Amino acid sequence: MYVHVPFCARRCAYCDFSIAVRRVVPTDEYVNALEREIGIRFPGADRWAADTLYFGGGTPSRLGGNGVERVLDVVRQRVALTPGAEVTLEANPEDVSDDAVESWRRAGVNRVSLGSQSFDDRVLTWMHRSHDAAAVARALQIVRAGGIENVSLDLIFALPSELGRDWQRDVGRALELEPQHLSLYGLTVEPHTPLGRWRARGEVAESPEEHYEVEFLYADRALTAAGFDHYEVSNFGLPQRHSRHNASYWSLVPYAGLGPSAHEFDGRNRRWNEPVYRDWVQAVNEGRDPMAGSEAVEADSQLAEQVYLCLRSDHGLMLWRDERAHVEPWIQAGWATVDHAGRMRLTALGWLRLDALAADLTLVRSYY
């Protein structure tokens, strides 16, 4: 299950997510609306089992300790977390305190994803982040002291060259903190963001593709050398510390979604909620399903998704019939490997070409 918590202290320069900037978080209103959504969409008394629960955003840690406890109480009205379930909370460093972590752990949170993004204060200011670099280490120490050992860090790479960001230093600093997991995302410029407006005015230029490739490949080398599995395009985890929740998306496992903009997939159909917080609240307060849209996943889409999702993880894709001959040039170029069973996995070089390779193989399969 995914639960979207939209609240943020400010909008980051690159952010195109569904968020609600609030100086004071309306915790009561949000929790009550979430409970109403569950009642509207799942009116029966039956509970279902979930192996993972993920609080994303926005900034879920803005709910504080008590707020997260209350949300988990609401979710448990319909969801029975399986023994050993992975319960992840996204958090910003400035929201982490001894009391908050104690409440999170008591409520059942056993994994925290810290939005660090960089260890360069100049870069953090440019991003409109609300913390400095030193806050990341302090937050990580507090989380671990509070009994939550499984910690992931987020970093953004391929920033504009004029910032002079030292990517190797940031990767090294992240490794010094000894997280169990790292998620690395290349910067994308979306039109309706501060960064998009800066680009439109000519105040900033996107990083060239060559810069993106150099930093991506450096991270792959440095993190795998440090013992991390590069198990998905953007994700590195120590053995047994991969994100089970994210992996379920790539494996097309059904998942439920609650909260504004939350998506849901039952194995055949997708739906998504109203993205604007006020519209979502109004809908559930009026007793309406807050769905903004839905679609059936047709056979051709299923084929494309299966190819793409399998190729983006180290699980790889079993080749069909005579596809080995078709992908042989990829192997020769160092973009892919094929094991003795016929399963193809993309290399880091291949992942840089993921969209094109997945589209090519999907087209080949569509003729069968």
Q: Domain extents for the chain? A: 2-250, 299-366
Answer CATH for 2-250 from 3.20.20.140, 3.40.50.300, 3.30.420.40, 3.20.20.70: 3.20.20.70
Partnered with residue 304 across adjacent β-strands are none
Cβ atoms 34, 74 nearer than 8 A:
yes
Cβ atoms 81, 109 nearer than 8 A:
no
- The alpha-carbon radius of gyration of the chain (Å, integer) is 21
Residue 101 — pLDDT band, cuts 50, 70, 90? very high
Q: What share of the chain is helix, strand, coil (3-state, %, to 5)?
A: 45, 25, 35
- Please state whether beta strands 269-273 and 291-296 pair in parallel, antiparallel, or not at all (unpaired): antiparallel
Which helix or strand (DSSP H or E) is residue 125 part of?
helix 121-127
Compute the average pLDDT of residues 137-147. Answer: 97
Question: Which residue from 27, 40, 30 is spatially nearest to 95, judged by alpha carbons?
Answer: 27
pLDDT, tens digit, for every residue of 74-95? 999 989 999 999 999 999 999 9
Determine the pLDDT at residue 47: 86
Residue 281 — pLDDT band, cuts 50, 70, 90? very high
CA distances for 60 relative to 50, 66, 72, 194, 244, angstroms: 20, 12, 12, 22, 19
Which helix or strand (DSSP H or E) is residue 218 part of?
helix 209-225
Burial class (CB in 10 A: 0-12, 13-18, 19+), 287: exposed
Strand order in the sheet with 263-265: 263-265, 269-273, 291-296
**Neighbouring C-beta atoms of residue 203, cutoff 10 Å:** 11
Examine the pLDDT at 51 and tell me if it is beyond 80.
yes
Residue 189 — pLDDT band, cuts 50, 70, 90? confident
Determine the pLDDT at residue 317: 94
pTM attached to this predicted model = 0.93
Compute the average pLDDT of residues 293-304. Answer: 87
Instruction: Lowest mean pLDDT of 43-47, 72-76, 289-293, 303-307, name the range.
Output: 43-47
